[in-house]
Structure 1
């Protein structure tokens, strides 16, 4: 377990914690506690290894801050078009993205993806497979871990939810500008998977047809 290095404490903002250290780095940081959850003492920022951490000088507890987990649902229709929602609120209001949101306490990351799909588009689905897990620093929320699943539609009607201004399908090769880089990456990976699967399927079919002709 790393130890805080003595004599290297940094000022802890009374309200923002370490967020003030990253203000010029393009985003807010999640380090914003003020008191130790173990003994109640005031925290200070010290270098632990090569990173600033919130540390309790009284009991030595180091508080590690982790990325926020977010889940996205990637739905394709029968024409292999991807379902996108137009964002109704900041950040990136007015831009398009996959149905996406933060995981809630008590649900799995896959359940979070299905819930976001239902809330934002009115669709019910089931997780087909994991497409991508991507780390990304948001200027709005800080560090995120975005997990994207391909989801098969099982019910519902495409209807914008409270957080969506519109819902629409787009060809994978003709996407509008997307709000989040992680969405672009996941859609590209999913498209590649489907192209590879179709190529394999076509190869097997040709082999079977060739075997039938020889027989």
Structure 2
């Protein structure tokens, strides 16, 4: 499976977590790392290039910090410009159908603040509904996200462990529930 990691952090050097995650995935075979802020800092998005990159991969990972309960502005712009009508959705817009969508999100607050009754009132699953709906609209399979809470407070050892878990998560073939269930059925038949 060919995996594309789209990194979208406006200042990755200031993020110990996102920087370590990016470093961890750079050496993984069959994995392409594409840093949107590095490529498009104050430049227009090359839509055709981005679409070809998406077509060449099976699993698309969106790595970003949670910004105002959403993605950083360049990633939102990227969605608006790259997922075009007639290409990603609408009549004839089936180019991404069947591909997998995974998010890797860093969050500064502790996990308990992202739940009903918590400081932020909503879970990450609830806050990412627009991404889930987008994946559904374009025919992609939305897979469980990788989330690192307390990104501003964790120590170097925890960041290293997070990077290992991140790589394991996004490269896990059984992250797709259809594959996991098919493998489960095979085990039952044995």
TM tier relative to shorter chain: under 0.3
Bigger Rg, structure 1 or 2 = 1
Query: Hey, which of these two has a bigger chunk of strand by percent?
Result: 1
TM-score (norm 1): 0.23
Which structure would you say has the larger RCO, counting Cα contacts within 8 Å and 6 or more residues apart? 2
The structure carrying a bigger helix percent of its residues is 2
